[in-house]
Amino acid sequence: MLVDTHCHLDAGYFAEGADAVIERARAEGVGAFVCIGVGGAEQARFALELAERRPDVVATVGVHPHEAQSHGPELRALFEELAPATRVVAIGEIGLDYHYDHSPREVQREVFREMIGFARARRLPIVVHTREAAADTLEILESEGAREVGGVIHCFSEDRVFAARALDLGFDLSFSGVVTFKNARAVQDVAAWAPADRILVETDAPYLAPHPLRGKRCEPAHVVHTARAVASLRNMGFEALSALTTENACRRFGPPLAAAAGIVQN
């Protein structure tokens, strides 16, 4: 069984509804899902409502760097309301995106720092988005004490140097469809090298469909392609890689995800 540790499932992406998408994934052996609640109040509420309705889903809430400049009192109040819910397992995705710069970089950094503090106060791990912002991401994680809660570097797209720093700060590395791309040599190197107990797999659905589906809408069922690629890079069998990454995901996101995956933790 696999866990998709990062997917966006709201109706803006999947008109057929999250349940249909999830059932397709379950038919492929994906047993649990971390639904990311970013993009605004509607998306945060959707993620939690889905997690409370479906036993195989858990949720996160946070401010994506693209929306950093729209963050304000209303969303802060909503997060205060939602974060204590048992089905909320992390704060995220949060971080920095210097590729698109949809929000000013200084605002991105300010909100990233705020969200780390929010997670620390609630003892929740964080899910980190970083694109073309490696140095600033690592500096903020370290200076803001993110090591206290750890978390996940989502859609890992950096090199071994970044990976070593992130691992030292207490972050797991989550591999998306990017690891299947022919030109992603640095990411493939990290997927082969990283400690076995620190790797996860995800889709980032509806984005970044893996080979051989690249260019199509991604969905959680496609995480099997990513898992096969990582297994090959590590000279492991698919079933062993699936069990390993599921165990790692349950350790990172705790009892709610373990229950969602039907796993009894000691």
Between helices 134-143 and 105-122, what is the axis angle to 10°? 40
Closest by CA to 6, choosing from 174, 169, 170, is 174
CB 22 within 8 A of CB 9: yes
d(CA 2, CA 54): 17
pLDDT tens-digit map of 25-58: 999 999 999 999 999 999 999 999 999 999 999 9
pLDDT along the chain (266 residues), means of 10: 98 94 98 97 97 98 97 96 97 98 97 98 99 99 99 99 99 99 98 99 98 96 99 99 99 97 80
In order of 27, 58, 115, 163, 173, the CA distances from 31 in angstroms are 9, 12, 29, 27, 20
For residue 153, the domain's CATH number is: 3.20.20.140
**Is there a domain that residue 95 lies in?**
yes
**What pLDDT, on a 0 to 100 scale, did the predictor assign at position 263?**
86
**pTM over the 0.85 mark:** yes
pLDDT tens-digit map of 76-117: 999 999 999 999 999 999 999 999 999 999 999 999 999 999
Residue numbers of the domain that contains 36: 2-260
In the chain, how many domains are there?
1
3-state secondary structure of 92: strand
In order of 41, 62, 128, the CA distances from 71 in angstroms are 10, 10, 17
DSSP symbol at 194: S
**Is there a domain that residue 266 lies in?**
no
**Is there a domain that residue 265 lies in?**
no
